[in-house]
Amino acid sequence: MTVSEVQNQILKLKKEKDICILAHSYQAREITEIADFTGDSYALSVKAASVKARTVLMCGVRFMAETVKILSPEKRVILASPDAGCPMAEQMDRELIEQMKEMNPGYTVVAYINTTAELKTICDVCVTSSSAVKIIKAMPEKDILFIPDINLGTYVAKQCPDKNIKLVSGGCPTHCRVNEKHVMQAKKKHPNALLLVHPECIPEVSRHADYIGSTSGIMDYAAKSSATEFIIGTENSIVEHLQYDCSDKAFYPLSKDLVCHNMKITTLPDVLNCCKGLAGEEILLDSETIAKAKKCIDKMIEYGG
Ligand code: 13P
Ligand code: SF4
């Protein structure tokens, strides 16, 4: 079968079976093309709360499917590829965070959305890369324990100097693959290009950036900018999407190693098999986990607007 034949079958089946396909922007082009909605983690969370279809198929990683289930517990939520986890989301467990809370009484725990549903049950507020600064500035609390991404946390702390932000040392293994050497090499090769990076990159990379933002933030910035060349410091699918969306501009990966293998495990035939009911994993969460985890996601949407 060709790509377009598989895509046509998916489009037909999802209509017949009332399936809404959500795809994170790190998914391959052929998947984002057939999705009902594509975006960054924040946009996907907001969308998840208002989806009308009875079944939601998440093409992304596990914490994203869990977020959909938490916000729409009455829906059947399927993770397209059961192996698609986010290593950062699994870096910290309940025991560690409970210990940290005990050691830091009075601190509000702000969790990057890249955390498990279980961990969210003991956190106070969720943030995403695009909403973190806005949310932390809007929060009345001053003392904040930020988990699990030390790089996003460092970036946020710089933008919110009036807050007292404690960090823990977690991070994204994909974005941490790039260092200052990659920046120097890319800038030398493309001296006229602007550098756009995700805040999950290490500070030694981010400090050279012309723009720091979420996946959608980077895509919007590049589309609206009058510049014509860009080095992209996030997962390489964003390079590909931008090449399609802004064909009059040039996009270069900061490194060929900026590939999230978990995001890339889902294939278009997997999506077709999920629509046929032959693949994927239904996300099941107990009602207590949903109720407790929902509080911190609701707070994110309340502060994030
Ligand atoms: P965004 O919030 O930019 O979608 O990022 C999610 C993610 O997993 C980045 O690695
Ligand atoms: Fe997780 Fe990093 Fe992959 Fe994003 S890019 S899903 S943070 S491993």
**Nearest ligand 2 atom to alpha carbon 60:** 6
Bond prior to 140 in cis (omega within 30° of 0) = no
26 CA from centroid of ligand 2 (Å): 9
Q: Is the pLDDT of residue 286 over 90?
A: yes
**pLDDT tens-place string over residues 113-128:** 999 999 999 999 999 9
Q: What is the pTM of this model?
A: 0.95
66 vs 78: CA distance, rounded Å: 9
9 vs 118: CA distance, rounded Å: 36
**pLDDT tens-place string over residues 19-36:** 999 999 999 999 999 999
Query: Cβ < 6 Å from ligand 2: which residues?
Result: 61, 86-88, 114, 172-175, 200, 235, 260, 262-263
Q: Is the pLDDT of residue 49 over 90?
A: no
Average pLDDT of 44-56?
87
Q: In testing the pocket of ligand 2, which one of 41, 44, 88 has its CB within 8 Å of the most ligand atoms?
A: 88
Q: How far is CA 248 from CA 25, 68, 228, 254, 268, in A?
A: 21, 36, 8, 20, 28
Give the strands of the sheet with 143-147, arranged side by side: 125-127, 108-112, 143-147, 164-167
Q: Is the pLDDT of residue 158 over 80?
A: yes
Q: In testing the pocket of ligand 1, which one of 42, 127, 172, 198 has its CB within 8 Å of the most ligand atoms?
A: 198
Q: 147 Cβ partners below 8 Å, 6+ apart?
A: 92, 97, 100, 109, 110, 111, 112, 115, 119, 123, 168, 170
Parallel, antiparallel, or unpaired for β 108-112 and 125-127? parallel
Q: What is the mean pLDDT of the chain?
A: 96
**Contact 179/200 with Cβ under 8 angstroms?**
no
DSSP codes of every residue in 146-190? EESBHHHHHHHHHH-TTSEEEE--B--TTGGG--HHHHHHHHHH-
Task: Look at residue 277 in the predicted model and tell me its pLDDT.
Answer: 97
Task: Look at residue 261 in the predicted model and tell me its pLDDT.
Answer: 97
**pLDDT tens-place string over residues 217-239:** 999 999 999 999 999 999 999 99
**pLDDT tens-place string over residues 173-200:** 999 999 999 999 999 999 999 999 999 9
Task: Look at residue 46 in the predicted model and tell me its pLDDT.
Answer: 82
